[in-house]
Structure 1
Amino acid sequence: MSASIAVSDLTWSTPDGRTLFSDLSLTFDPGRTGLVGRNGVGKTTLLQLIAGTLAPLSGSVRVEGTLGVLRQTVQVAPDETVADLLGVTAALALLQRAEAGHAGAAELSLADWTLETRIAAALGRVGLDAPPGTLLAALSGGQRTRAALAALILAAPDFILLDEPTNNLDRDGRAAVLDLLAAWRGGAVVVSHDRALLDTLDAIVELTTLGTTRYGGNWSHYRERKAVALAAAHHDLAAAEQRLADVAQGAQRSAERKARKDAAGRRQRAKGDIPRIVLNGRRSSSENTAGANARLAERRRAQATALADSARARIEVLQPLTVTLPSTGLPAARTVLRMDAVSAGYTPGRPVITDFSLVITGPQRIAIAGPNGSGKTTVLALAAGALRPWSGTVRCLADAAMLDQRVSALEPALSIRDNFRRLNPGAGENDCRAALARFMFRADAALQLVSSLSGGQVLRAGLACVLSGPTPPALLILDEPTNHLDIEAIEAVEAGLRAYDGALLVVSHDEAFLQAIGVTHRLELPMLRPT
């Protein structure tokens, strides 16, 4: 039997009782399928249900074949190595014992003499130059993601589940993911908001509050088909609502005609110039006609209501996200950040950056680029004051705000609302609620604990709390701000940052995002080699 994934009548709810899926059914066959949808709709949860790390409230998941999973975040223990992530630690130890002549005959029969070659090939395919004994904690987030991709290549499962595989990856890393998927001969389900990646896939499954819809073809084809389907649904809804109005008007006219005839009949009855038997016959005929008209009108009303309900069921009711930043009034000639001959790192004797200088003047928009591990996040941490330089000077000469990859500005144990008030002490309750509502946290949604949010919701909450205070910072420092955001939210953030009149210092591997926000300068960091 060929590899496949079948989800049948699946129901699952969040711990707070919010239903994500109800009687959800879909299948995935061999091929490369993108799973898309808004933040919080349940894409990662669906992957966890398929992988078996979550159990459904009802329904079933059947997987034919072996399964490999790449999760959003590669969590690591302090002593965990690349070999541990690849699942080859014991096998490599056996090879070392065999090469040293310390393995018995039974062990020798189990030795995989091709393993080291296959490990090197898997790491090479994802562009990771790290021996199996390398500690994962010593790697950047993007390098750990590469190692996890290498683990999938080495295991060669029938189906792979990839959750945001290009997050944290540099240009070469993203190319490695695209190459991996292009050469993959099994099945792949890919949760992603990476428009370039989605454009390379065979099909798109959209997950919404209404259920799932499958579209053959890539992201661009899906967007076209989705726009046509949505336009047709709005057209059908308008037509059905017009038909309902016409039925109501027709019923009103019939009622008015009957009222006029009844009044005329009463006047004639009062005059007494028409025999009673004739008047009674007319009244009986009128009542029969009125009853038939009423039944006809009710059938028409029911048909029009059904058509309107059917059209509404095809249209998802969405809360719009708007990112509006007040003016900073930053003068064009004012220097907001100066870094002179800075060297810094995290381990003594192993600098991440050396002799680095940067000046930001006025509303410049500067992107820091470079391969994973070259120190991009380190530069941002220095600029934000979260890391002290070993040598050189860092001076931030204006109000600044930073949103890092982990959204560490937010306290997980607090609600979104309480985080906003903590980070913006000068904001009143009305200002707080209005700002959060623009980021789709309305009413009780603003009272959710940050720890209960999805990755995309956490980032959206961070954007709301950092960017929507009463006094906007003159310098925004953003580290991969589009990671985990759905595409509609990315486009809203792009629009807000285009209109922002302060300075930007940003790290992002999303080229479409950098172009959309109008980056004017790019600074490429080299990869430092260990001395």
Structure 2
Amino acid sequence: MPAHSSVPATASTARTSVITLAGVDLSWPDGTPVLSGLDLLVPPGRSALVGANGAGKSTILRLVAGQIAPTGGQVAVSGRLGYLPQDLTLDAHRAVPDFLGIEETRRALRAIEAGSVDPADYDAVGDDWDIEERTIATLGRLGLPLDALDRRLGELSGGEVVQLGLARLLLARPDVLVLDEPTNNLDAAARDRLLDVVSTWTGSLLVVSHDRELLEHVDRIGELRDGSVRWYGGGYSAYAEQVAAEQEAAEQAVATARSDVRRQRNDRAEAERLLAQRKRQGARNAVRSNMGKGAQHYWQNRSEKNAARYRKLHDERLGAARERLEQAESRLREDREIRVDLPDTAVPRGRVVLRLHDLVLRNGVAVAGTGQLGLDLSGPDRIALVGGNGAGKSTLLHTVTGRVAPASGRVEVGVPVGLLPQRLDLLDDELTVFENVAAAAPGVDPNTVRAALARFLFRGERADRPAGTLSGGERFRASLAAVLLAAPAPQLLLLDEPTNNLDFASYDALVSALSAYRGALIVVSHDQGFLEDLGIDRVVELGGED
């Protein structure tokens, strides 16, 4: 029977693992298999889980958190668990103290301070007499303003919501902290604070992330690949070195095995040549010696038996060589990459792409334009848009596309524009990947759409999967395909935190694709390494609060 349990930490469990998955099977309600016989032991300390998009990392965290139940096997957690999902489900009207889980305790404290002797108030407070002080300290540690306690969730930016979710966990003081892509949407200062939390965490931690800087702060990295997890000691640099060494050894083994297969094939062909030569020579000798038919049959049968043994020997050697080659090739990593070639996105240098006229965003932030050093764009320029969480970066991108009206001023766009929003809400979850992309490119031949989708790794049945069933990384690829394959092709591309949820191979492919992109580009990103890899022309910083 499938089971999930949370047990008190003991000396024996501390020596072995804080999270245990034993023979876990999982299938979706429609019967689609997700995990089969997965065994996973997460030791105490700081651990990370990495792997290709769609491998099942977030699903494992949901199993650990008890949000979904396994079809078979057991899941156990040693101690109290705190879980930060990749996408927090939010009620925009919910008050922040209620979200933090402190509202009832605060109410009871105020009642006691006013003279209440109701036992229910004392039960509500429990051991949290310092909840106010701890909340203020936690918010300050994460860089959240104290007036956040007077807000509702809908008034916060995406990055602030992630920080608030982390604050809720820290206030609950769990034994095991489980985080799913926690650096998504965080600005540089917030990322530094998160790194401090991870590096100083005294309990146990399991984090799913592709953030290379964050991964340097863990004790070990487990790679989920082909349905099993393999552990590597150290942070990302150590992991990358070990993987590179394994790949070098695997490539050498493949080269050796292929050479052996060629040699065995040649030996097999040479054996057939020798057998044919001996057969012809035997026939000639029989004619010359006037050998009787009985003797001829005897020597012919003997020759054929020897030839069969000879062939079998070479066939066995060739078969063994092929088996060694298959084993060597199975150790090779064949990480697939997205490939984009979009000549229709080209913008001639000097063409006006974007012009801002006295633009003031709805949050009151003025954005320089019309000749000032700002966001006016000519030709295939590429700009990085930076600023703190809540500064209005996403608001500006939505204003450029016309989704959000400015407080004053106007935006002039001179080319087709495409936006990949931070929340990846472009897709209709009820439609397939193919149907979503085809809807963005009306009139384009369906076979052309499918061929283009194959470059984004949606081949065959994968293109016919409903968008609502995609993993975070798969949804990113599908959304990017819907934007880049649209008709007309975007010559101004707006990307809002595009590296969220990307595995290492997809990150490298995205950098390569955007480096070859021929249109103008505005990128919102807190990932300094990504901006450096992209080779941007200039940086524009926004300030202010939403």
Please indicate, yes or no, whether the TM-score normalized by the shorter chain is above 0.5: yes
Counterpart residue number, 2:82? 68
Counterpart residue number, 1:121? 137
How much has 1:226 moved relative to structure 2? 1.2
The one of 260, 267, 286 aligned to 1:243: 260
The one of 5, 17, 23 aligned to 2:37: 23
Residue 367 (structure 1) aligned with residue 379 (structure 2):
no
Residue 96 (structure 1) aligned with residue 96 (structure 2):
no
Residue 259 (structure 1) aligned with residue 276 (structure 2):
yes
**After TM superposition, what 4+ stretches of structure 1 lie above 6 angstroms from structure 2?**
274-281
How much has 1:85 moved relative to structure 2? 2.7
Residue 353 (structure 1) aligned with residue 365 (structure 2):
yes
How much has 1:461 moved relative to structure 2? 0.8
How much has 1:58 moved relative to structure 2? 2.1
Secondary structure of the 1:523 match is strand
8 Å CA contact 2:364–2:407 kept in 1: the answer is no
CA–CA separation in structure 1 for the residues paired with 2:337 and 2:346: 28
Secondary structure of the 1:231 match is helix
How much has 1:98 moved relative to structure 2? 0.7
Deviates more, 1:106-115 or 1:175-184: 106-115
- CA gap 1:528/1:49 in 2 versus in 1, 3 angstroms: closer
8 Å CA contact 2:46–2:206 kept in 1: the answer is yes
Secondary structure of the 1:205 match is strand
- One-letter code aligned to 1:129: P
* TM-score, normalization by structure 1: 0.91
Which runs of no fewer than 5 residues in structure 1 stay unpaired?
346-350
Residue 217 (structure 1) aligned with residue 234 (structure 2):
yes
CA–CA separation in structure 2 for the residues paired with 1:269 and 1:332: 86
Residue 184 (structure 1) aligned with residue 201 (structure 2):
yes
8 Å CA contact 2:418–2:483 kept in 1: the answer is yes
8 Å CA contact 1:210–1:316 kept in 2: the answer is no
Counterparts of 1:53-202 in structure 2, within 5 Å, are 53-104=67-118, 107-108=121-122, 111=125, 112-130=128-146, 131-202=148-219
Counterpart residue number, 1:467? 484
Counterpart residue number, 1:348? none
Residue 208 (structure 1) aligned with residue 232 (structure 2):
no
- CA gap 1:210/1:234 in 2 versus in 1, 3 angstroms: farther
CA–CA separation in structure 2 for the residues paired with 1:398 and 1:290: 74
Counterpart residue number, 2:3? none
Counterpart residue number, 1:513? 530
Residue 13 (structure 1) aligned with residue 5 (structure 2):
no
CA–CA separation in structure 1 for the residues paired with 2:167 and 2:358: 37
CA–CA separation in structure 1 for the residues paired with 2:291 and 2:346: 89
8 Å CA contact 2:36–2:227 kept in 1: the answer is no
Counterpart residue number, 2:422? 405
- One-letter code aligned to 2:248: A
Residue 310 (structure 1) aligned with residue 327 (structure 2):
yes
Secondary structure of the 2:149 match is coil
- CA gap 1:494/1:236 in 2 versus in 1, 3 angstroms: same
Which runs of no fewer than 5 residues in structure 2 stay unpaired?
1-9, 370-374
Counterpart residue number, 1:32? 46
CA–CA separation in structure 2 for the residues paired with 1:210 and 1:289: 47
8 Å CA contact 2:337–2:509 kept in 1: the answer is no
Counterparts of 1:516-531 in structure 2, within 5 Å, are 516-528=533-545
How much has 1:490 moved relative to structure 2? 1.8
How much has 1:312 moved relative to structure 2? 2.7
Counterparts of 1:394-473 in structure 2, within 5 Å, are 394-469=411-486, 471-473=488-490
CA–CA separation in structure 2 for the residues paired with 1:276 and 1:499: 77
8 Å CA contact 2:440–2:487 kept in 1: the answer is no
- CA gap 1:190/1:284 in 2 versus in 1, 3 angstroms: same
CA RMSD, aligned part only?
2.5
How much has 1:380 moved relative to structure 2? 0.9
Deviates more, 1:227-236 or 1:457-466: 227-236
- CA gap 1:352/1:15 in 2 versus in 1, 3 angstroms: farther
Residue 494 (structure 1) aligned with residue 511 (structure 2):
yes
CA–CA separation in structure 1 for the residues paired with 2:269 and 2:410: 81
- CA gap 1:421/1:84 in 2 versus in 1, 3 angstroms: same
CA–CA separation in structure 2 for the residues paired with 1:431 and 1:515: 34
- CA gap 1:69/1:105 in 2 versus in 1, 3 angstroms: closer
Secondary structure of the 1:8 match is strand
Secondary structure of the 1:178 match is helix
8 Å CA contact 1:427–1:469 kept in 2: the answer is no
8 Å CA contact 1:352–1:374 kept in 2: the answer is no
8 Å CA contact 2:79–2:175 kept in 1: the answer is yes
- One-letter code aligned to 2:278: K
How much has 1:109 moved relative to structure 2? 6.6
CA–CA separation in structure 2 for the residues paired with 1:69 and 1:235: 42
- CA gap 1:109/1:276 in 2 versus in 1, 3 angstroms: closer
8 Å CA contact 1:162–1:191 kept in 2: the answer is yes
CA–CA separation in structure 2 for the residues paired with 1:85 and 1:448: 34
Secondary structure of the 1:244 match is helix
CA–CA separation in structure 1 for the residues paired with 2:465 and 2:292: 77
8 Å CA contact 2:472–2:501 kept in 1: the answer is yes
CA–CA separation in structure 2 for the residues paired with 1:503 and 1:333: 11
8 Å CA contact 1:40–1:457 kept in 2: the answer is yes
Residue 393 (structure 1) aligned with residue 410 (structure 2):
yes
Deviates more, 1:9-18 or 1:490-499: 9-18
8 Å CA contact 2:335–2:505 kept in 1: the answer is no
How much has 1:62 moved relative to structure 2? 2.0
Q: 1:141-163: CA deviations, max 9, x gaps?
A: 11111111112222222221111
* TM-score, normalization by structure 2: 0.89
CA–CA separation in structure 1 for the residues paired with 2:357 and 2:517: 27
CA–CA separation in structure 1 for the residues paired with 2:300 and 2:415: 87
- CA gap 1:327/1:287 in 2 versus in 1, 3 angstroms: closer
CA–CA separation in structure 2 for the residues paired with 1:342 and 1:181: 40
CA–CA separation in structure 2 for the residues paired with 1:105 and 1:454: 47
How much has 1:10 moved relative to structure 2? 2.1
Paired residues, number = 524
Counterpart residue number, 1:483? 500
